[in-house]
Structure 1
Amino acid sequence: MAAQATLHCLTGCAIGEVLGMVIGTAAGLGNVATVVLSVALAFVFGYTLTMRGVLRADVPLRAALKVALAADTVSIGVMELIDNGFVAAVPGALDAGLADALFWGSLAASLALAFVVTTPVNRWMIGRGKGHAVVHAYH
């Protein structure tokens, strides 16, 4: 269940993270602005994917947002810390262009590492009725 929850979270994070990095790099934004954009989009897409399923259960929008915040905030936060920390630690990765293998390779590796690190966090939270466990009542 934890791996499934992490994969669900990773999907939203990856969409936002990749989109933010691509937009920031293509627009010539600085490293800090690009990372901030990526993190913001990761949270938006992560919460949106969770809310989509909860809204299908006829939960009002405000309540669905509360469920998404409770379910995904820690998971997305850990994921973003790990994947952005990894990319920042790879020499030249933040300065690589969209056509560079270093850009895509470091981004892919960062997301894989984030999955590995976040899965036990989600397992711990689910075991305590927190995190993604709160979403299962709406499936």
Structure 2
Amino acid sequence: MRGLSFEIPNAYGKHLFEILDGINIKGLTWKIGGGESYFIENNTLGNSLFPNICILNGEGLLKEISKEDYYLIFVDLKGFQKKSDVREIATYQEFVDSGCKFVLLLVDSSYVTIYSKDQITIKHIFSKAVTAGYKNIEYITDEKDTRTTLIAF
């Protein structure tokens, strides 16, 4: 298993926090790629959830995704082992050959794709997705991987 894919509701919320709850967010260094996501202020889109392409430690990421509701349009998160070379990962082979442990891509506000080098993490998120009522939940395997790049935006 390479990962999984599913659809989340196209709605305001704390979806990243809900998806990532229970995995070792704090144990990784996170590369935030190009994307588009906003905090909700006065029931409308406000400030950006993440600064433009940046690197956050796990505590910083957890703080951003857990404090208030936001709206996700495009998200590109890559979690790297601490003290590894944090760099752009554009293909599955680059992911395999790097210190990157976890990839979360979201496109068009609903379509989530996750890659993880840890099978337990994949199964944990699959279970959470089922419990949350997400749609079209599928494992990504070598035979069923249709993505050509690991970039969301």
TM-score (normalizing by structure 1): 0.30
Which structure is higher in strand share? 2
> Per residue, is there more helix in 1 or in 2?
1
Structure scoring higher RCO (CA < 8 A, sep ≥ 6) equals: 2
Q: Which has the larger radius of gyration?
A: 1
Q: TM-score, normalised by structure 2?
A: 0.28
